[in-house]
Structure 1
Amino acid sequence: VRFIAERDSLNASVLGPDATPDSPEFDLFVKEVAREMTVKAGQKCTAIRRAFVPAALLDAAETALADRLSKVVVGNPQTEGVTMGALATIGQAEEVRKRARELGGAARLVFGDIDNVAVQGADDVRAFVSPMLFRADDPWSADIVHDVEAFGPVSTLMPYKDLDDAVALVNRGRGSLALSFFCYDPQISRAFILGAGAFHGRIVLIDRDSARESTGHGSPLPMLIHGGPGRAGGGEEMGGVRGIKHYMLRSALQGSPRQLSTVVGRWLPGAPQSEGATHPFRLRFGELPIGYTLKTASRVVTLEDIEHFAEFTGDTFYAHMDEEAAAANPFFPGRVAHGYLLLSFAAGLFVDPAPGPVLANYGLESLRFVKPVSPGEAIKVSLTVKSKTQRNDEYGEVRWAVSITDGADELCATYDLLTMNAL
């Protein structure tokens, strides 16, 4: 049985050195630290346990955080006006108080009370604790704040001297699940991430531009691949489908394209292609076999075609219009056809225009232009059913492997075409 464990981690949040007390990033930082302290009463593996600010902003940050935390109402969540509830158990509340006392040996409590809390709407108050903000003016001598986690509404505010100091301090926690950086200067953000990235599973950059859409410090997206020493979810956030794959059985397959294509239900290059009298666009989703192929007639690409396309679209790039300049380019023998002209001609060669099962062409993927086509050369197209995925009771997605070749059967372009086809 596969087993995944997350390391305890003293997650951190950092206010960038470009911030000032009146900058949006300062306000965003204060709001996020207070929110992470109090949401679920701080009982989250990603909650902010260490908050770092430039040394010059330490007093301002303390005042702002204390002011925001003073508005928190502790009590029964069913009571109107309550904004923070109890811890999971009475034992957990006692554990948080114990850890808070340990933190108090190296840091000063600047907001809250370890032993007392005003509680609204509850008779038994033993599972409730006050939000507690500690302050450690010398974070390098306060080892315990980097080693001990109070799993509740508890955080420690600390200063840093410069960006290198901030990086070293956040990394002092020996790895975390989540790290947030509040900064508006992308060059500073880059330097910070290059220094801190290896020690933290997920880093979120928050500024005035992204804050409204950001999931915030403690709410990762399920498709993210986490790093850091903790390797949350084995590297995959377990709230998403990707993480489940760690628990699924797996086998590597080896064989001929014919065998593998049938086994996996997907046409692979080199696998057999079947041709029929019916145009594939006249077949419904369920009637299209994997590997069904249309091979088109040829079309000659003329110089007049190239010049018309250039003038009509405005794409007068020299490779299409200037023989001498194009010939000097190491990739072209002279003037060549536009890649998108080839795509347009390809569609004209393989499309059946009448209404039918093909409901929509909604894109193409993995486009590569492999070989240029010169004026006077002919192209033809091979269109193969690569895979099918039913989307609902009315239609499904068909992925087509498309290859454009020249008169010598050499590949000029390749891509996957996506269509929605009626069942």
Structure 2
Amino acid sequence: ARAAGIPAGVLNLVASDGVGGDHLARHPGVDKIAFTGSTATGRAVAAAAASHLARVSLELGGKSAGIVCDDAPLDAVAAAVVAAVTLVNGQACIALSRVLVSERRHDELIDALRTAFEALVVGDPRDPATTVGPLVSQRHRDRVLGYITDAERDGGRVVTGGGPPPHTTRGWYLAPTLVTGVSPTSRIAQEEIFGPVLTVLTYRDLDDAVAIANGTPFGLSGAVFSQDLDQARQLAGRIRSGSVAINKGAAIDFALPFGGFGSSGYGREYGPEGVAEYLEHKTIFLDTP
């Protein structure tokens, strides 16, 4: 930042266990707060900022859905989806965690996804051959495993993955996991997992697909896969999320606004809209003859 010309003291990095953040959120000298993190902590930040009416923008969790139209080439879909599911080992707010496919093409897509998942290399992130590294902690991996256990208890089927790979004896690893056979209202299909876990759901028609995509409290990102770009744009417009990628699993561009709806937060980062979050409009009336 200093090399870019920002004066010393304008940007300050404070490492804290949460006390520092709480202090800043409540401090009357802070006019604007931008928070990136979990929905639960985002609510706490907003509540603390409300004590002195500081402006707040929140970039929180996600439960991104990808709608796969019947005309989409499934090999290309599988490659894009797997890359988006395993982004930062699944620990990314925009990671694709639900894929919606028609009942007609479900089995084909499952086969393509299984092949793509099982080609991934899970291991030490320092090894150039590795494509998926560990989760951040034992506690978090156990939490992710809990979602998989719940899905199986609810009648879901783990197609591949579901636990630590046999060769990983040290570290909090989880094999990229593919789950199907659950309801759109199941816990694994509703809550943010933050791990390399993909749930495949079926839809009857595209109206049903949009309803399922919009059927969670989140609305951060999403995707549509179709060779008919007009149809894809129409579907993208109906998905209630801050961004939608067409024929990509996930996308972000720092020149364009980024943010979400509902439990994914409010306000925008990046682009001119992100800069506007830090500005206050002021009107001065001139005393003229």
TM-score exceeds 0.5: yes
CA distance in structure 2 between the partners assigned to 1:135 and 1:236 by the alignment:
33
Task: Select the residue among 183, 188, 203 that pairs with 1:139.
Answer: 183
Q: What is residue 209 of structure 1 aligned with on the other side?
A: none
Task: Select the residue among 37, 50, 59 that pairs with 1:6.
Answer: 59
Displacement over 6 Å in runs of 4+: none
Which residue identity lines up with residue 130 of structure 1 in the other structure? A
Are the aligned partners of 1:99 and 1:148 in contact in 2 as well (CA < 8 Å)? Answer: no
- CA change 1:234–1:15 in 2 (3 A) is same
Q: What is residue 254 of structure 1 aligned with on the other side?
A: 284
Shift of 1:234: 4.0
- CA change 1:39–1:195 in 2 (3 A) is closer
1:171 aligns with 2:214: yes
- CA change 1:117–1:43 in 2 (3 A) is same
Q: What is residue 162 of structure 1 aligned with on the other side?
A: 205
1:180 aligns with 2:223: yes
* Identity fraction in percent: 26
Task: Select the residue among 119, 128, 148 that pairs with 1:100.
Answer: 148
Residue 31 of structure 1 aligns to a residue whose secondary structure is helix
Shift of 1:84: 0.9
Q: Give matches, 1:112-127, under 5 Å.
A: 112-114=161-163, 116-119=164-167, 124-125=170-171, 127=172
Deviations 1:56-103 (A, max 9, x none): 111111111111111111111222421111111222112211222223
CA distance in structure 1 between the partners assigned to 2:241 and 2:195 by the alignment:
21
- CA change 1:82–1:225 in 2 (3 A) is closer
Larger radius of gyration: 1
1:223 aligns with 2:251: no
CA distance in structure 1 between the partners assigned to 2:113 and 2:67 by the alignment:
14
Q: What is residue 243 of structure 1 aligned with on the other side?
A: 274
1:61 aligns with 2:109: yes
Q: What is residue 95 of structure 2 aligned with on the other side?
A: 47
Residue 4 of structure 1 aligns to a residue whose secondary structure is strand
Q: In the comparison of the two structures, how many residue pairs are matched?
A: 234
Are the aligned partners of 1:222 and 1:241 in contact in 2 as well (CA < 8 Å)? Answer: no
Q: What is residue 397 of structure 1 aligned with on the other side?
A: none
Give the TM-score of the pair, scaled to structure 2. Answer: 0.72
Which residue identity lines up with residue 109 of structure 1 in the other structure? V
Residue 104 of structure 1 aligns to a residue whose secondary structure is helix
What are the ranges of 5 or more consecutive residues in structure 2 without an aligned counterpart? 1-29, 33-55
Q: What is residue 205 of structure 1 aligned with on the other side?
A: 246
Which residue identity lines up with residue 192 of structure 1 in the other structure? L
Residue 134 of structure 2 aligns to a residue whose secondary structure is coil
Shift of 1:118: 3.3
- CA change 1:233–1:135 in 2 (3 A) is closer
Residue 34 of structure 1 aligns to a residue whose secondary structure is helix
Deviations 1:351-391 (A, max 9, x none): xxxxxxxxxxxxxxxxxxxxxxxxxxxxxxxxxxxxxxxxx
Q: What is residue 323 of structure 1 aligned with on the other side?
A: none
The higher relative CO (CA closer than 8 Å, separation ≥ 6) is in 2
Are the aligned partners of 2:259 and 2:265 in contact in 1 as well (CA < 8 Å)? Answer: no
